[in-house]
Structure formats: C-alpha cells, structure tokens
Amino acid sequence: MTVFIYPNLEKLHSEECTAQVIEILKSLGVSVLMTPDTNSVFCGKAEEASTLDEAVSECDIVITIGGDGTILKIASLAAKYQKKLLGINCGRLGFMASLERSELDCLKNLCTGKYKTENRMMLDVTINFGNGESRTETVLNDVVITHDFKESLNDFTVLADGVAVSHLRADGIIFSTPTGASAYALSAGGPLIEPSMDCIEFTHICPHSLSARAMIFDPNKIIEVRTKASGHIALRADGGETISILSNDSIFIRKSALSLSVIDIHGDNYFKSISTKLMNNAKEVYEEDDDK
C-alpha cells in the first residue's frame, strides 16, 4: 500500500505530527510518498513524486495533515483519481478530519481495513463570462458569492431548473454540499445536514428581508444565479482565489460527476464532531463566564 502525505506545515504541530505519521506508516510496511518540497523538510525519508498530480495518481490513500482547509485544497484531485482521503487534524476545528494528533495509533487500521468510507457529494460551479469565456470549479464544501465590501448590497435572483425561486437583496449567498453545511452555511443560519446525503443547500448572507430562509434542493437540480450590482461581485469556491463576477456574467451550480471517498476510522466521526467540537464551543464560553 502506498500513502501520499499532504501536510500544511504552517499549522502548529503539523511538522511534528507529519514526522510521527511517516515513522508509524513505515513501521507498518506502508510506502510513504511525498512531493520533493515536503520530503526535503523530512530529510528525504519518503519516496518522491515530481508533482502533486503524480503523487495523487500513484497512491492508494491520501493523508492530509492540518485543518479542513488542507483537505479542501486536495479534495478535487483526490476525487479525480478516485483515491480515499484521511484527514488528521492539527487545526482548531478540523470538522472533516477523522483523526486527532493524539489518535495516530489508529493508523494501523489502514492496513487491516478496519475503517469505514463515506462518499461525499461535490458541486461543479460554472461561470459564463460576458466576454464568451467560461470557467468551472469543483468544490467539496461550498460556493460563496458576495460583494467585495467596496459596494453596497447586491440583488440576487436564484433559479432552479429555470424557475425563479428567490429574488433578494443581501450581502451574499452560499451554495453548499452536505459536507459544507457545517462550515460557512451553518454560521449564516443554515441547517446541519448529514454528509452522506446528496442535496444542494442554499443559504443567504445577511439578507435584507424578514422572510428569507435557507433552502434544500434536490441534487439533480441545475441552479442558476443572476446578479445585479454597480460593481464587481466576488465568487470563491472552497475558499480559493477570488473570482470577479459582473452583472452580465451567469453562474450555474450542479452536482458534480466527481465524489470524494472520505475515510472515517472511528465510524462515528460526523456525530462525534458535532458533540465534541460544535456544541462544546458554546459550553466552554459559559464555563469561562462562570469562572469570572
């Protein structure tokens, strides 16, 4: 078995964690693969693939070490090559990660097959620019469309299979997968959705309306977004680079043909994360207040 390790070495403890993961995997007889820039940090202890694309295509499993953002950066490539992905959390929340730094002994389950996998739905967002050009991004979490904070509120029209379902003025809108429902969409008032489901969530960001509510669409719907603004609108796919949108550009969002196979070593990662990471955040605040 060959494992490609993809760490975010800017995260606190990630370098130490990566070194431990390399030693554990090699002790289990697993071939460890890295890109040259990362391998040089660890004194060439792993085999090398010349490019990121080559590393993912040649491995059996991708292991990310960092936070949820690290998973998002490699998700579409892992899905493209149909590789399983295991996230190890060195960040603050790590909602999508299956393992914490204190649980690295569970890596032996990769060799015994003692783990579960979940197929996570992804979205394709296509921007048809007014100049005739187009661009498509594939996301695991969400597509965020908002103003660039230099402009006032924007007008958005959302259509599902050509039928208008929402006209609103707001700071922005979010379209998320069930996996992304626990990210920005949740903070904007959207519901939690079990990530093994298939659907498209639509959530507003600070709508200037008393009736705006989150919506859940059938995964086979084709969503179109039309905008009206005096300046540029910013679109970000999975927190990536900002893409500038003008009023004569059109945006289409649909279920992707790609899906990501996520490893859940414990078999209860989603509900465990809700209990220990989301709910406990509020609990800790009250505990701190009580101590004052």
Active-site residues, by number, are 68
Stated as kind and residue range, the H or E segment containing 93 is: none
SS3 label, residue 184: helix
Distance CA 41, CA 248 (A): 47
What's the full length of the chain, in residues? 292
Distance CA 119, CA 179 (A): 10
Distance CA 88, CA 5 (A): 10
Strand boundaries in 187-232, DSSP class E? 200-207, 215-217, 223-228
The values of phi and psi at residue 195, to 5°, are -70, -15
**Shortest CA distance to 39 belongs to which of 66, 5, 79?**
5
**Shortest CA distance to 93 belongs to which of 274, 265, 241?**
274
**Shortest CA distance to 150 belongs to which of 265, 266, 229?**
229
Report the DSSP beta bridge partners of residue 24. none
Report the DSSP beta bridge partners of residue 38. none
Indicate the DSSP class of residue 5. E
